[in-house]
A and B are shown apart, each in its own frame.
Chain A
Amino acid sequence: DTAVSQTPKYLVTQMGNDKSIKCEQNLGHDTMYWYKQDSKKFLKIMFSYNNKELIINETVPNRFSPKSPDKAHLNLHINSLELGDSAVYFCASRPGLGQGLAKNIQYFGAGTRLSVL
């Protein structure tokens, strides 16, 4: 079973559209993340949620809105898509305090490649 799964794997859309990317983890972790990887492979954190609460927001435009219905899911909704949003988006999860010695290790999904035309 896939530990961190993202859907869709590929997303091609027009400028101005609204789209969502879903992420689910079956590891029982408390903390989840969204990262953006640009065309040069630079990886930058966007958001982090711990037990459904936002704990990191790295000055991402408010067109990006994460939503965590429960601690196993962290979805990313993007409004009014722009060309510069084209990237690969990675979801990740991490154990929280009290969940074991490996609490600093993050587990990544396979990524969603978003192309805005």
Chain B
Amino acid sequence: GDSVTQMEGPVTLSEEAFLTINCTYTATGYPSLFWYVQYPGEGLQLLLKATKADDKGSNKGFEATYRKETTSFHLEKGSVQVSDSAVYFCSFGNEKLTFGTGTRLTIIP
């Protein structure tokens, strides 16, 4: 069945470090892919998305590329900040979204 596998956390990095959070998916067809972010005490917010193969989504310095051949959508950022500390969710779908288990990211000064 449909599923998302993402890197288990928690992940702790120093400020300005390079970030990668891996995400792979199993789905029928070619769904849209998303990264959502949940800051402490808040709901999920869309961080970025890609709707077709080789599309790159980007926002706030984060990037992810839709890789059809590896069914992956890894999240990257070149230099993280303390304010990036949150839980990150990889997801896919159209009318119905399937989410990964979330990766808690903590950035220390």
Contacts and interface: CB of A to CB of B under 8 A. Distances in A.
Tell which of A90, A104, A106, A107 has the most Cβ of chain B within 10 Å: A104
In the complex, which range does the number of interface residues on chain A fall in? Answer: 20 to 34
Interface stretch (B12-20, B21-29, B43-51, B65-73): B43-51
A43 to B, nearest CB: 4
Interface residues of B, number: 23
B87 interface: yes
A4 B43 contact: yes
B94 interface: yes
B60 interface: no
Nearest to B51: A104
Interface centre among A4, A44, A45 (most CB of B within 10 A): A45
B72 to A, nearest CB: 19
B93 A104 contact: yes
Contact of A41 (B46, B96, B104): B104
A90 B89 contact: no
Contacts, number: 50
B106 to A, nearest CB: 14
A110 B42 CA distance: 5
B43 A108 contact: yes
Contacts of A111: 42-43
A55 B97 CA distance: 14
A92 B89 CA distance: 15
Contact of A109 (B43, B87, B96, B99): B43
B43 A43 contact: no
Contacts of B32: 104
Nearest to A40: B101
Nearest to B42: A110
Interface in B64-109: 87, 89, 93-97, 99, 101-102, 104
Contacts of B51: 104
Contacts of A4: 43
Contacts of B49: 104-105
Contacts of B41: 110
Interface of A: 4, 31, 40-45, 48, 55-56, 90, 92, 94, 104-111
